[in-house]
Structure 1
Amino acid sequence: MTTIILVLAIAAFFLVVLEDVIHINKAKSTLFIGTLCWLIAYLMPASEGGVEHVTEHLDENLLEIASLWLFLMSAMTFVAYLNSRGFVSSLVQRLLPSSLSERSLMILLGMFAFLFSSFADNVTATLVSLAVITSLKVAPRKRLKYATLIVFAVNSGGVSLITGDVTTLMIFLSGKVSIANLLLLVAPSLTAVMVLAVMLSLRMNGEVVFESTPAVIERTDVVIALIFLTTILGTLGLNAAFQIPPVLTFLFGLSCMFLIAQYLFRKKANRNILNYIREIEFDTLLFFLGVLLIVGMLKEVGVLNYLTSVYDHLPTSAANYVLGLVSAVLDNVPLTAALLKADVSMDTASWLSVTYATGVGGSVLIIGSAAGIIAMSKVKEVNFISYLSMGGYLLAAYSLGYWLSYHLAQAVL
């Protein structure tokens, strides 16, 4: 059964890569293979527990997926409303000058995505950052570069805070690093983002002109934007203080949005806030579902556990670097869980390098992170092949950030 699952997982990978050639939507192919893998597990149970064991792990996997789905749905509904109302583009017009050099915009986007994802979740940071570039009139290749930077910056921004990335939180809760230790990752992560921004903007000498049409922001839109901001801050605060799951807080914020909008829209005909859920691109959610089902099955058959054997053949620093690159193909959460379960002996500096590697390494491929998958669904110029053309820049930035984080931690600790 393990061999069959591996073959199917590899097939799913190639179907995503060849989406533009075979014209089969990646959400359809991954969902098909993801569900097929679990059906095979029921038909050919490999563990001693039999069907009961498979059911237990499927329930665990579906719980994780449901939490992610509901969280994504909540965040995407907020962003769908604000985008449809032109709130983000209007805000950009007010905050930015009428024109800006393409290089300056690249630097500003990188800093914004990095800082925003440090305090908000990666999904929200990606959606808001991409909303800025989707409204710009730039060449397709340049929009691809902006989107590439956003994906890398969003993933880099969360590694130094326990609220910014799940794997960072996992390593922290296991007692491998402290909050003070994690702050050492800020400088290397930001440096890598800025270096990537410079590399991507080397041949960009033009100007970006922002439309000078009057930006009208209605009171209702401001209220909902404030609810969105309060929801983000509340999610961070309640999770840190009371360990309340982020999905619960975001759903509460969404319910507040629905109720308050019902009151604000009472005098407006044909305005139902629930309609904005229909604007969510469910292709993204279905793709997530398929990918996580496949990764969950790989974890079920024990494939992920073999990855920790790399530490038996490579020095710790090199093994951590490779593990980060592996996270570009496999989900970083089960990878980190497998590493923690193996209890590999490492010093604090090495655990910090693991934190950086698993948090940022997924940026090298578009399917390696939630930010990448969202970018692929929101920006038409971004697909597996086009993003792969940015691979040299991304690998260089990741390598630089990893090298800086490891050696800085070694020097300080």
Structure 2
Amino acid sequence: MRIILLLLACFSTIWASNGEDLTTTWVGILSLIIFVVGYYMVAAEENYHINKAKPALFMGTFIFLLIGIYNFSNGIDPSALTHSVEHLILEISQIFFFLLVAMTYIEVLIERQVFDTLKYNLVSKGYSYKKLFWLTGALAFFISPVADNLTTALILSTVLVTIEKENPRFLVPGAINIVVAANAGGAWSPFGDITTLMTWMAEKAPFTDFFYLFPASFLGWLVTAWLLSLYVPSDKPHFDVTTEPKVSVLMGGKVVIALGVLTIVSAVLCQQLFKLPPMWGMLFGLSLLKLYSYRLKRKKGEELNTFKMIGKIEHDTLLFFFGILAAVGGLHFLGYLDLAVKLYDSAGPTVVNIGVGFLSAIVDNVPVMSAVLKANPDMGMDQWLLVTMTAGIGGSLISFGSAAGVGVMGKLRGIYTFGSHMKYAWTVLVGYLLSLIIWYVQFEMLDLY
């Protein structure tokens, strides 16, 4: 935590020295302090026994209230603030509704015993903890490019916790493995992560050229997974065929799986072809699920209460995302993120792009990537792919540094925490550094892109 605070202090000193926007005013300094303290409370949630959504929501809303007070007291036209908040609400709502639908589908799949059936099939085969560790990690890496890293992490963390609910020696490395695999898998696909989608939409690299990041992403995850596997127990989960009743998918479960796939496809099509927000396709998929639940009850007499499933999702996770994105949006309005990109002129693109990975773990990769795209530094495609990769996989360095990490924290509450992640964070760092080395050899030395 001291390292995080030191990094933020260094960045604030660099930015404030340029004296632009509101960074050197009382509202800028106070907002930065609130942000640092709020993030500390998020990171130390298990120490203070406070839900991470509470400090996140407070700092996200209070920063903008402070900006409003500053404008009012100085007679500043509030139109710029109003426009910024309206744009921020649009961005947050898209993520909010996307997650709402994804989490609802997961809860319905849980209720239909889909994950229990998968767990039964895996455990009944006599797989060891290590084999289950590798299976869930590999699935996360290869599913996230097709879907997205958050949805993939939510699904596989649910499978993980149904396999074993109490053993932290398996759950913590397994959770980290899923987060790293989902983020690494999403980094080499244009719609595997929000950062890659933003870069592709800005036409910084053609669609197929993102696949050149596959070697760096794959080998980086593989090394981290191998190091984590050394801590996974070699024994098997408890399973007694005489006492464990066979579990099968309930009526309609397979159709829900198909509707889930269709929902993801519709979200991708909305973004790729129709130029609509992906959440529009997700909400369309939710409507299909609700219509199917109506048909299932009318024709088969089977109850599938989707509204009840919505009530079971982790609403605190959604509020956490709202608070964090709002807080970072406030810092962006104050000028901190815009000033950060000036480092490109002094340090060079490679150094800064590598640093973006560490910064995205502390703050959030989406606003950081947005700031880089808005600054539009003069870089070649190799550098744009580098910053896309570092922003995508850099969030794995800290548990709440990526959407996938936050989602898994919600699923494994009290087990996968900031503290438990940091015990193994060095393994993630080794994989991250290896990805950078592979990128340098492939792009800068061999020109294989």
Q: TM-score, normalised by structure 1?
A: 0.95
Partner of 1:351: 384
Q: Contact 1:224 / 1:257 at 8 angstroms: preserved in 2?
A: yes
1:396 corresponding residue in structure 2: 430
Measured on the aligned residues, the alpha-carbon RMSD in Å equals: 2.0
Aligned partner of residue 123 in structure 1, secondary structure: helix
Letter in 2 for 1:195: V
Deviates most, 13-22 or 45-54: 45-54
Distance 2:141 2:89 in 1: 30
Q: Which amino acid aligns with 1:256?
A: L
Return the match for 1:73 from 88, 94, 100. 100
Is the 8 Å Cα contact of residues 140 and 185 (structure 2) preserved in structure 1? yes
Distance of aligned partners of 1:203 and 1:94 in 2 relative to their CA distance in 1, 3 Å threshold = closer
* Structure 2 match to 1:224: 256
The question of 1:193 aligning with 2:221 is answered: yes
The answer on 1:41 being equivalent to 2:74 is no
Distance change >3 Å, CA 390–CA 95, structure 1 → 2: closer
Please tell me whether residue 52 in structure 1 is matched to residue 52 in structure 2. no
Partner in structure 2 of residue 23 of structure 1: 49
Q: 1:291 aligns with which of 324, 332, 339?
A: 324
The structural deviation recorded for 1:75 is: 0.7
Counterparts of residues 119-130 of structure 1 (less than 5 Å)? 119-130=146-157
Aligned counterpart, 1:320: 353
What secondary structure sits across from 1:368 in the alignment?
A: coil
SS in 1 for 2:232: coil
Quote how far apart the aligned CAs of 1:83 are: 1.1
In the alignment, structure 1 residue 236 sits paired with structure 2 residue 263? no
Q: How does 1:126-141 map to 2 (within 5 A)?
A: 126-137=153-164, 139-141=167-169
Instruction: Name the CA shift for 1:102/1:112 in 2 (closer, same or farther; >3 Å).
Output: same
CA distance change for structure 1 residues 21 and 96 in 2, over 3 Å: closer, same or farther? closer
Cα distance in 2 between the residues matched to 1:190 and 1:299: 33
Tell me the secondary structure at the aligned position of residue 56 of structure 1. helix
Q: Would you say the 8 A contact 2:118–2:159 is kept in 1?
A: no
Single out whichever of 280-289 and 301-310 deviates more from structure 2. Answer: 301-310
Question: CA separation in 2, counterparts of 1:203 and 1:271?
Answer: 40
Contact 1:114–1:157 under 8 Å retained in 2 = yes
**Correspondence for 1:256:** 288
Contact 2:296–2:302, Cα closer than 8 Å, also in 1: no
Give 1:174 deviation, angstroms: 2.5
CA distance in structure 2 between the aligned counterparts of 1:38 and 1:202, rounded to whole angstroms: 46
Q: CA deviation at 1:336?
A: 1.4
Deviations 1:350-380 (A, max 9, x none): 2211110011101111121110111111103
Q: Which of 375, 382, 389 is residue 416 of structure 2 equivalent to? A: 382
Q: In structure 1, what is the Cα distance between the partners aligned to 2:302 and 2:143? A: 36
C-alpha distance in 2 between matches for 1:210 and 1:223 = 31
SS at match of 2:71: coil
Q: Deviations over 1:121-175 (max 9, x none)?
A: 2221111111111112362132011000111111111112211122112222333
Shift of 1:399: 1.2
Pairwise CA distance, 1:282: 0.7
Q: Please give the alpha-carbon distance, in whole angstroms, between the structure 1 residues aligned to 2:158 and 2:98.
A: 19
**Structure 2: which 5+ residue stretches go unaligned?**
1-26
**C-alpha displacement at 1:48, in angstroms?**
8.9
Instruction: Classify 1:146/1:269 alpha carbon distance in 2 versus 1 (closer, same or farther; 3 Å).
Output: closer
Contact 1:238-1:244 at 8 Å conserved across structures: yes
Alpha-carbon distance between aligned partners in 1 of 2:332 and 2:399, rounded to the nearest angstrom: 21
Q: Which of the residues 36, 39, 45 maps onto 1:13?
A: 39
Contact 1:353/1:406 (8 A) holds in 2:
no
1:219 offset after TM fit, Å? 3.2
SS at match of 1:227: helix
Counterpart CA distance in 2 for 1:89 and 1:232 is 22
* Mapped partners of 2:191, 2:336: distance in 1: 29
Per the alignment, residue 174 of structure 1 pairs with 202
CA deviation vs aligned residue, 1:64-118 (integer Å, no higher than 9, x gap): 1111111111110110011123212203433676221332222222210011101
With over 3 angstroms needed to count, the CA separation of the structure-2 counterparts of 1:117 and 1:390, relative to structure 1, is same
**Cα drift, residue 45 of structure 1:** 2.1
Q: How far apart are residue 62 of structure 1 and its match?
A: 1.1
The normalised TM-score by structure 2 is 0.87
Q: Does 1:277 align with 2:310?
A: yes
Give the alignment partner of residue 245 of structure 1, picking from 265, 277, 284.
277
Letter in 1 for 2:197: L
Identity of aligned residues (%): 32
Give the conservation status (yes or no) of the 8 Å contact 1:352–1:405.
no
Pick closer, same or farther for the CA change 1:347–1:217 going to 2, 3 Å. same
Call closer, same or farther: CA 1:136–1:96 in 2, change over 3 Å.
closer
